Chain A
Amino acid sequence: MTVTELPTDIIPHSSFRAEVEEKSGQKISACFQCEKCTNGCPVTFAMDIAPHRLIRSVHLGLKEEVLKSDTIWVCASCEACTTRCPNGIDIAHIMDTLRQMSQRQGFPASRKNVPLLHRAFLTSVKRRGRVNETGLAVSYTLKSAGLGGLLKQGMNQGLGMLRRGKLRLLPDRVRAGDQISDIFKNTEKKG
């Protein structure tokens, strides 16, 4: 019989739970690990830490494990967990808080295309106040798959959409563009 050794590389950050609770406004310690969130989650098959375990990990202060996880980027924000939690914990909102913290604290995203898309999207909003879906798809595909990927995607999807009158080259621009830049300027630091 072998004795299982306790892992030695876990560095708990006792302040982590308090930080997440404060930023999300959610009481993580109310979780009693009933697993209802996980059982209703449609994307657990692609997660490395199931939602109820992620909540537990936050409780235990396992900051690195949580902020480097696939889970926070795979979560589809579908709100099933939040709707069903018997303790009223807004788990989907905690996922948002964790995504925000991981970006702000410089943790490399395990699924880098997800934040890449968010950045491309917000750049588009910042520029015109509205999203230009055509431009967004082009700039995101260039960043994530390079020129080759863009040409392939364009052939597969873009031309068909163009033919069916789905693509507009430029959307209207918000006239009060300065209000939009103010919003971006003033919220960038705050988080």
Chain B
Amino acid sequence: MKVSYYPGCSLDGTAREFGESVEGMARMLGVELAELPDWNCCGSSSAHATSEALAFDLAARNLGIAERAGLDLLVPCALCFSRLKTAQKTIAAGRTSGGISTLTSSKVQVKDSVDFLWHDVGEKAIRQKVKKSLKGLNPVCYYGCLTTRPPHITDAPMPEDPHGMDLLLESLGANVKNWSYKTECCGGSLTLSLPEVAHKLIQKLLDMAQEAGADCIVAACPMCHSNLDTWQREISRETGKNYYIPIFYFTELMGLSFEHPDTRKWLRRHSTDPLPFLRQKGLL
């Protein structure tokens, strides 16, 4: 199987372990990722907060490149995914937001990483690769806002209660916990500009995961991951509570279960060090 691949700026930078683990899993599962030639930043929150036309054109340039490649497009970052899907829906509605893009149609299927690995590559292929069961791991799956919401953009069948990541991790043997905070916002767009607001949202998620009986949180978005992972020490200091909840990318846990040789290297990049936790669970 071959797909186009749009890593986005974070997977190239601060979320390198997500990028590398997505690529690692694709290779193990026989998927060829063809990186979009000369892709540009999708514009993220800043473009759409500033100018309709700018947000559209930045995303549409990438869509144009993907159209020429003519393959499905894998977009692992939730924000990039949302921006590219929004641009597609804008085109489909016959609007082009007054920008300079001349793209009048866009037919490539834009896919997030969970959807792609679980539905397109499929359960059977994944189960065949499992070498080590993740039995004993009690994660909650955290989908964040933008891979599912709003459904008129994402086409998510169950925007308030997505399931793909839960099923995928269960197929690796994990004891996935249910919770009502799967898609609750972590404040990713506010971390730098309104940290006091973002920290409240992060703390809520950490508390609710623990209340659900989880010992770790699994994410599929670089913003969600970095937000939940990076600030635990500060939030502990601010609140006097002691937070230690490892945050994983689902692709890293796949790597652990498939025994991908680079898994430790990916996990060592986290702020909330997951290695002692995994050793204690007998998984490392």
| Residues of A in contact with B (beta carbons under 8 Å apart) | 23, 25, 42-43, 45-46, 73-74, 76-80, 82-83, 90, 92, 96-97, 99-100, 103, 111, 113-119, 121-122, 125, 129-134, 137, 140-141, 144, 156-157, 160-161, 164-168, 171-172, 174-176, 179-180, 182-184, 186-188, 190-191
Binary A-proximity of B189-206 (CB < 8 A = 1, otherwise 0): 110111011001100100
> Complex Cα distance A119/B50, Å?
9
Residue B100 at the chain A interface, CB threshold 8 Å: yes
From B47, which residue of chain A is reached at the shortest CB distance? Answer: A122
Residue of A74, A122, A157 touching B50 (CB-CB under 8 A): A122
What distance in Å separates the Cβ of B57 from its nearest Cβ neighbour in chain A?
4
- Asked if B185 and A42 make an inter-chain contact with CB atoms under 8 angstroms apart, the answer reads yes
Measured between beta carbons, the chain B residues less than 8 angstroms from A97 are 52
Tell me if B40 and A174 are in contact (CB < 8 A). yes
How far is A111 from B16 in the complex, measured between Cα atoms in Å?
31
A76 in contact with B189 (CB, 8 Å): yes
CA distance A125 to B151 in the complex (A): 28
CB atoms of B192 and A140 under 8 A apart: yes
B45 touches A179 (CB 8 A): no
B282 part of interface (Cβ distance < 8 Å): no
Q: Would you call B58 an interface residue if the criterion is a C-beta within 8 Å of the partner chain's C-beta atoms? A: yes
**Complex formed: what's the CA distance from A186 to B16 in Å?**
33
A131 touches B9 (CB 8 A): yes
B49 lies within 8 A of A96 (CB) = yes
When C-beta atoms are compared, the residue in chain A nearest to B234 turns out to be A156
Q: Pick from B14, B45, B54, B201: contact of A133, CB below 8 A.
A: B14
In the complex, are the beta carbons of B53 and A43 less than 8 A apart? no
Q: B242 at the A/B interface (Cβ < 8 Å)?
A: no
Are A190 and B269 in contact (CB-based, < 8 A)?
A: no
Of chain B, the residue at the smallest CB distance from A116 is B193
Measured between beta carbons, the chain A residues less than 8 angstroms from B44 are 121, 131
Report whether B269 and A191 are in contact in the complex, using a CB–CB cutoff of 8 Å.
Answer: no
Q: Which B residues, 23 to 64, have Cβ-Cβ distances below 8 Å to chain A? A: 38-41, 43-54, 57-58, 61
Most buried by B among A77, A96, A132, A179: A77
User: How far apart are the CA atoms of A22 and B149 in the complex, in Å?
Assistant: 23
**Contact yes or no, B99 A161, CB < 8 A:** no
Q: Is A167 a contact partner of B269 (Cβ separation < 8 A)?
A: no
CB–CB B41/A129 < 8 A: yes
Please give me the residue from chain A that is nearest to B146 by CB atom: A79
Q: Does B230 sit within 8 A of A, measured CB to CB?
A: yes
| A-B CB contacts (within 8 Å), total count | 182
Least Cβ distance of B61 to chain A in Å? 7
Q: Which chain B positions have C-beta within 8 A of A113?
A: 192-194
Chain A residues contacting B193 (CB-CB under 8 Å) are 111, 113-114, 116-117, 144
Q: State the CA gap A25–B152 with chains docked (Å).
A: 15
**New A-B contacts (19) at CB < 8 Å, excluding given A111-B193, A172-B12:** A42-B204, A43-B185, A46-B197, A74-B194, A77-B189, A78-B149, A99-B49, A100-B52, A117-B46, A122-B43, A125-B43, A164-B271, A165-B16, A166-B13, A167-B14, A175-B38, A182-B100, A184-B54, A187-B98
Whether A187 lies near B100 (C-beta < 8 A) is yes
Residue B184 at the chain A interface, CB threshold 8 Å: yes
In the complex, A3 Cα to B20 Cα: how many Å? Answer: 67
The answer on a CB contact under 8 Å between A183 and B194 is no
Given A111-B194, A130-B9: A118 in contact with B149 (beta carbons within 8 A): no
Let me know if B187 and A164 touch, CB within 8 A.
no
Beta-carbon contact of A83 and B150 below 8 Å: yes
- Cα(A80)–Cα(B144), bound, Å: 11
Partner of A83, one of B46, B50, B51, B151: B151
Contact, CB under 8 Å: B160 / A83:
yes
Closest chain A residue, CB of each to CB of B156: A83
**In the complex, how many angstroms separate the beta carbon of B45 from the nearest chain A beta carbon?**
6
17 contacts between A and B (CB under 8 A): A42-B201, A80-B185, A100-B51, A111-B194, A118-B46, A125-B58, A130-B41, A165-B16, A176-B38, A180-B61, A183-B100, A184-B54, A186-B53, A187-B54, A188-B51, A190-B51, A191-B52
Task: Determine whether the beta carbon of A165 is less than 8 Å from that of B57.
Answer: no
Q: What separation, in Å, do the CA atoms of A188 and B54 have in the docked complex?
A: 7
In the assembled complex, B274 has its CB within 8 A of some CB on chain A: no
